[in-house]
Amino acid sequence: METDRNDVRPADGPSRRAFIATAAAGVGAFAAGSLGACGPGGEGAASSASDDGAPNNGARDASGGIVVARGPIAVEAGVGALRRGGNAIDAAVATAFTQFITTPFSAGVGGFGCMVVYDASTRRATSIDFHGRAGSQATPDIYRSALEGRIYGHADRWKVRGDINQIGYKSVVTPGTIAGLWEAWSRFGTRPWAELVEPAIRLAYDGFEIPGALARGFTTRTESSSGVVPFFTKVRTTEASARIFLNDGVPWRAGERLVQRDYGRTLELIAEGGADVVYRGEIAERIAADFERNGGLLTMADLEAYTPDVYDPVHGTYRGHDVFSNALPGSGAQVIEILNLLEGYDVPGLEHGKAEHVELLGRAQILSFIDRRRYHGDPKFIDDPTDILVSKDRAAELRGFIDRRELPPDVVEEPPEGPDTTHLSTADRAGNCVALTHTLGSASGVVTEGLGFTWNNCMFQFNPVAGRPNSIEPGKARITGISPAIVLRGGQPILVTGAAGGTRILGAVQHTISNTVDFGMSALEAVSVPRWHWEDHLLELEPQLYHHLKEELEGRGLDVANDAFVAQLHAVGLHPDTGRLTGGPDPRGWGGGSATAG
């Protein structure tokens, strides 16, 4: 990913939230130069495309690499991009598009997310945030007259009459995923855009055999403990959705073939027209008309105004390692806050997964969640608290609570979101890396007639009470647990990681970093060992730990609960000396896949 531009790395001093580029109107709305021009030190001209449609990013040969992600079909799409001479960014884009088809209620054109990209040629990291943003028709009190109360055990999840904040047109925000993928490809990609979309198009038309985990999701008919409306209810929200995701009115079964022709046609338009067709062209016009007709919150003007945010990632250090992740309203700062708390203790001297280790890490997590409830919101609308959250001095102050085995008095119950998200990690032989998390939230059940994709339900995670950090405002992004991360040792990447699983994402990412740095685990070991999570009054343990440690932890005065699995991680390990790439697909939940090229 070398560039023919001058190296304009940021000057010394704070630059974390200095946005380095925003998109201009037109087909190239989300195009910019290569990473070498990122940072407040200067902006470069937009990259142009070659005759075959590939951006002129001057990338050196990065053939060969690795893709780790949810679903073997999506992994193979990413590996195919590498085999055709693409780099880690090309692989990430191809994988993400294919996940639209294989996990249609977890990610897609109607979704949002974040990514962190490391450019080996400039030795720089960049964050690209493509959060969903509340439409211009959304107001702070939009749900007030229908508000029935807080869902038990969740500080920012509220029961609204008719569940209109999580299903239907009033639950949807302006999407960001296509803008984010286009931005990443325009800056760092090497293969033609249409080539990267093509595997997803082919899969949409040809269909795929429904795996057991997806089939089980199709049959869900009961509301989750955290208030998520069941799939069978959501899928019947619109006729267009029911036609695709029900088979003559009944849920699809494992082994049956799911074909999504409308989605295939939509992706063909995106392959030809790029992001512009979604935000200003034919698809945008159809979206705007549909939402106006059905009382939705987003408009054509919202689509036209949408741009992803590109900036220097949030940066922290942990035992001599550099950690790069996303900014608020994502959770990268919270991951760093937990690591800062742990840095004051001899974690490598503890036995992994024993009671002392579990309690120490859990207490660091719960302290960070207390800060989350107090501070987290969209920094475009609130005073940005990131400097407080990532402060080493603040971590030293908070360790007093850990040492006294106490908690501040303002703990609010807030169980995690469901795992309706997907993550992928890629790396190539040149050392370029991508950690990308994208999602639909828990999906709204809305499908615009003829477009084939399911819309997000981001409004569900906003606080419907005005005046709070995470309250509703037009153009605002709600908080999210998404926290893709890249870890460097001695200036060289050693870990690319991220997860699916709502607020459990950030804890799982922190687990993986600690497992790698403190215990020397491989990527596969780091994602496979049992995890635990503490964000409200219960310390949740995966079954292996729960049955082994329940009595001992209760003897320490902790309330514990058994949890089937804590998030789903996908990581890549990189050996800084040899360049060897190893995959860490998570065996939990849907399972993951890992494949190499070259």
- What is the per-residue pLDDT across 112-127, written as a single tens digit (0 to 9) for each? 999 999 999 999 999 9
Question: What is residue 160's predicted lDDT score, i.e. its pLDDT?
Answer: 87
* pTM of the predicted model as reported, rounded to 2 decimal places: 0.88
CA dist 511 and 451 (Å) reads 39
545 within domain boundaries: no
Read off the CATH number of the domain in which 480 is found. Answer: 3.60.20.40
Does residue 40 lie in a domain region?
Answer: yes
Band (pLDDT 50/70/90 cuts) for residue 564 is confident
The answer as to whether 541 is a domain residue is no
**How many CB atoms are closer than 10 A to CB 530?**
18
The whole-angstrom separation of Cα 431 and Cα 238 is 45
For residue 224, the model assigns a pLDDT of 57
Q: How far is 94 from 542, CA to CA, in rounded Å?
A: 33
**For position 214, what pLDDT does the model report?**
83
Asked if the model's pLDDT at residue 210 lies above 70, the reply is yes
Percentage of the chain exceeding pLDDT 90: 69
d(CA 174, CA 267): 18
61 occurs within a structural domain: yes
Is residue 340 in a domain?
no
Instruction: Convert the pLDDT of each residue in 319-363 to its tens digit.
Output: 999 999 999 999 999 999 999 999 999 999 999 999 999 999 999
Let me know if residue 44 belongs to a domain: yes
Separation CA 456–CA 370 (nearest Å)? 27
Most confident of 14-18, 305-309, 540-544: 305-309
Task: Say if residues 160 and 143 touch (Cβ distance below 8 Å).
Answer: yes
Structurally, how many domains does the chain consist of? 1
Instruction: Provide CB contacts within 8 A for 202, sequence distance 6+.
Output: none
Q: Quick check: is 536 in a domain? A: no
Give 533-582 as a DSSP string.
EESSS-EEE-HHHHHHHHHHHHHTT--EEE-S-S-EEEEEEE-TTT--EE
Name which residue leads in pLDDT, 515 or 595: 515
Segment 455-462 mean pLDDT: 92
* pLDDT band, residue 151 (cuts 50/70/90): low
Least confidently predicted of 87-101, 213-227, 237-251, 259-273? 213-227
The rounded distance, in Å, linking the Cα atoms of 172 and 479 is: 15
Domain containing residue 99: 1-144+157-332+418-531+567-598
d(C-alpha 31, C-alpha 450), whole Å: 28
pLDDT at 397: 95
Q: Does residue 464 register a pLDDT over 50?
A: yes
Pairing of strands 147-150, 421-428: unpaired
Q: Is 498 contained in some domain?
A: yes
Cβ-contact 325, 341 below 8 angstroms: no
- Four-residue CA torsion sign, 272, 275, 281, 284: positive
Q: Judge whether 286 and 447 are in contact, CB under 8 Å.
A: no
Residue 277's pLDDT is: 98
Active site (annotated) includes residue 266: no
Task: Report d(CA 106, CA 502) in Å as an integer.
Answer: 12
Please state the rounded mean pLDDT for residues 481-501. 95
pLDDT at 263: 98
Single out the catalytic residue among 3, 103, 421, 512: 421
Q: Summarize the confidence of residues 444-459 as an average pLDDT.
A: 95
What is the mean pLDDT of the segment spanning 183-203?
98
pLDDT digits (tens, 9 = 90+) for 281-309: 999 999 999 999 999 999 999 999 999 99
Average pLDDT value over all residues in the chain: 86
Under the phi-then-psi rule, with left for phi > 0, alpha for psi from -120 to 50, and beta for the rest, what region is 257? beta
